[in-house]
Amino acid sequence: MATATVMKSDLQARIEKINKIVEGFKQQHGTGLFVPISARELEVSLTTQLLTILWQGGPGAPLPEGSSFTYTIGLHNPGLATVGYVFAHTWAGFGHPDPNIGTFLLNVDRRFPTLTEPQTVQGLTLAPNETKALNFMVKPPTGVESTLYTLNTCVMRAHWTGVGDFIARAAFPFMVA
């Protein structure tokens, strides 16, 4: 019983610390659309996932043709061990509601660029309880319809001599004017 109480209080302290980090990023982000993880999703992910996507940020207004924007995700390592060789891959498409990872990854609008960060073979490394942001410069192609599009993001850990790990996924809306 005492162990569960300590674990719950530790979890609560971690949630409070993460909420401060997320709030700090939100203030830096400015006027665009900012989508933080919900309190319930955060609590579940801190106890069950290898890494957690804490937030996504991007434009909050329709983009004029020919413009670009920065899309940002915040990753957090809730575990006790360092996690390395982490990459995030993002693309436009409407695969987000697809529960099948294979077809989710194939649902790509080929008119848009596909982007991977960080751009090093070592990937991103996150120490225990560490949070880092990855930024993608997204440039919608000229001539696309004025409508709402969806960026999909897949976070994965590479194992260069075997099958990698699918860690998390997210979707973020943006409009082209």
Tens digits of per-residue pLDDT, 43-85? 888 878 788 888 889 998 899 988 999 999 999 998 889 999 9
Tell whether the torsion through CA atoms of 101, 107, 112 and 114 is positive or negative: positive
Tell me how long the chain is.
177
Low-confidence ranges of the chain (pLDDT < 50): 1-6
> Taking the mean position of all CA atoms in its chain, how far away is CA 149?
17
State residue 4's pLDDT score: 35
State residue 129's pLDDT score: 86
Are the beta carbons of 148 and 174 closer than 8 angstroms?
yes
How far apart are alpha carbons 28 and 148 in whole angstroms?
Answer: 25
State residue 5's pLDDT score: 37
Q: In the numeric block, which tokens belong to residue 170?
A: 């997210």
The rounded radius of gyration (Å) of the Cα atoms in the chain is 17
Question: Which neighbouring-strand residues pair with 52?
Answer: 76
Q: In the numeric block, which tokens belong to residue 156?
A: 């994965």
State residue 8's pLDDT score: 66
Are the beta carbons of 167 and 50 closer than 8 angstroms?
yes
Which residues, including other chains, have CB under 8 Å from residue 164's CB and lie 6 or more apart? Answer: 85, 156, 157, 158
pTM of the model: 0.84
Q: Domains in the chain, ordered, with CATH? A: 2-175 (2.70.50.60)
How far apart are alpha carbons 175 and 65 in whole angstroms?
Answer: 10
Q: In the numeric block, which tokens belong to residue 112?
A: 């848009």
Q: In the numeric block, which tokens belong to residue 4?
A: 């569960």
How far apart are alpha carbons 54 and 74 in whole angstroms?
Answer: 5
Tell whether the torsion through CA atoms of 36, 40, 41 and 45 is positive or negative: positive
